């Protein structure tokens, strides 16, 4: 086995699952079609002559619900998408062939975690708190480099289990970066940025999404992808600073976003994939979600 990457995998990798479970009623912005899951066919509905039966699903959703990525086509400013593309013209035909989510290449890149509450010495940022440039610098225990994917943890993610009102935070406000933090990230030349909130941005209490300065700086001005509603607590609990970040958005032709399940991979000799873990037996609900190790 001469492939360096495959050798590194064989030597043990812990997989951190940064995506959330999708279920009807999960917290999401009311601006987007709600996630719905239903079974048009269940086992027993149609049994084949040999005794086999198949069950299947229908799902309906917006592409900005659950853990998801924003394509460049998602936001415009002054009638223009990133690069000066006319935003109205780009959508004629009912899909954004330019800057749609299908144009996002799979990401296998260096990732860096900025654990803001850790740097601030608290459990989580306050509702409506603006994460400053100083906070970002204090949180960056590994250097942020061009081409990186930067994940900003505010500690807000624990509210996901408290329901939509708590997590969406319209009344309370939501912590996040604003124009200054976005400018700092853009200057680093990063490839994508993620957060554990659904807005990515700092939202003022009661303010909702009236203004989205970080989206404008990152998506529109610099063509930097945004990943929202990530699950970052386990990665932070493992004290991770840098890692291999992997993300493969669905290639939904002309869409402005995609639901995703991002991964952070860290080499760990204790996490060698054993042959015995090769079946579904290792994938029980709520059990180990790691490909090799036990985190995520």
**Bridge partner residues of 37 (DSSP):** 59
Q: Which two three-digit tokens encode residue 212?
A: 């989205």
Q: Which is nearer to a copy of itself, 77 or 138 (CB)?
A: 77
Query: Which of residues 27, 28, 69, 96 is near a copy of itself by CB under 8 A?
Result: 96
Q: Which is nearer to a copy of itself, 125 or 289 (CB)?
A: 289
Query: Which of residues 95, 118, 141, 158 is near a copy of itself by CB under 8 A?
Result: 95
Site for a copy of itself in 246-275 (CB under 8 A): 246, 248-257, 259-263, 265-267, 273-275
Query: Which of residues 225, 226, 228, 235 is near a copy of itself by CB under 8 A?
Result: 225
Site membership for a copy of itself, residue 172 (CB under 8 A) = no
Number of residues that bind a copy of itself (CB under 8 A): 147
Q: Which stretch binds a copy of itself (CB under 8 A): 116-124, 130-138, 169-177, 212-220?
A: 212-220
Site membership for a copy of itself, residue 52 (CB under 8 A) = yes
Query: Which of residues 183, 211, 233, 234 is near a copy of itself by CB under 8 A?
Result: 211
**Whose CA is closest to 9, among 238, 234, 246?**
246
Query: Which of residues 1, 84, 121, 270 is near a copy of itself by CB under 8 A?
Result: 1
State how far the Cα of 170 lies from the Cα of 141, in Å rounded to an integer.
31
Coil, helix or strand for 34? coil
The DSSP annotation for 139-186 comes to H-SS---TT-EEEEE-SGGGGGGG-HHHHH-TTT-B-EE-HHHHHHHH
**Whose CA is closest to 74, among 261, 262, 259, 255?**
255
Site for a copy of itself in 102-161 (CB under 8 A): 102-110, 145-148
The answer to whether the CB of 226 falls within 8 A of the CB of 192 is: yes
State how far the Cα of 243 lies from the Cα of 271, in Å rounded to an integer.
15
Query: Which of residues 17, 135, 201, 228 is near a copy of itself by CB under 8 A?
Result: 17
Reported as half-sphere exposure (CB side, CA atoms, 13 A), residue 82 has a value of 21
């Amino acid at each position: 086995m001469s492939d360096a990457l495959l050798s590194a995998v064989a030597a043990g990798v812990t997989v951190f699952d940064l995506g959330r479970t999708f279920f009807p009623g999960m917290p999401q912005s009311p601006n987007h079609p709600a996630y719905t899951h239903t079974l048009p066919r269940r086992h027993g509905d149609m049994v084949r002559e040999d005794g086999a039966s198949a069950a299947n699903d229908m799902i309906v959703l917006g592409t900005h619900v659950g853990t998801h990525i924003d394509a460049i086509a998602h936001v415009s400013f002054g009638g223009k998408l990133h690069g000066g593309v006319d935003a109205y013209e780009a959508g004629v035909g009912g899909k954004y062939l330019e800057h749609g989510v299908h144009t996002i290449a799979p990401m296998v890149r260096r990732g860096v975690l900025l654990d803001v509450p850790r740097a601030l010495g608290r459990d989580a940022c306050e509702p409506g708190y603006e994460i400053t440039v100083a906070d970002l610098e204090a949180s960056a225990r590994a250097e942020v480099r061009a081409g990186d994917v930067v994940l900003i943890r505010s500690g807000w993610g624990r509210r996901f289990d408290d329901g939509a009102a708590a997590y969406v935070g319209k009344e309370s406000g939501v912590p996040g970066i604003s124009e200054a933090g976005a400018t700092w990230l853009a200057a680093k030349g990063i490839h994508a940025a993620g957060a554990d909130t659904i807005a990515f941005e700092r939202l003022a209490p009661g303010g909702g999404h009236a203004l989205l300065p970080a989206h404008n700086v990152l998506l529109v001005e610099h063509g930097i992808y945004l990943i929202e509603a990530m699950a970052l607590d386990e990665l932070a609990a493992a004290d991770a600073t840098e890692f291999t970040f992997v993300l493969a958005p669905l290639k939904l032709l002309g869409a402005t976003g995609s639901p995703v399940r991002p991964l952070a991979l860290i080499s760990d000799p204790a996490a060698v994939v054993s042959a015995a873990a090769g079946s579904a037996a290792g994938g029980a609900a709520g059990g180990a979600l790691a490909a090799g190790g036990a985190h995520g």
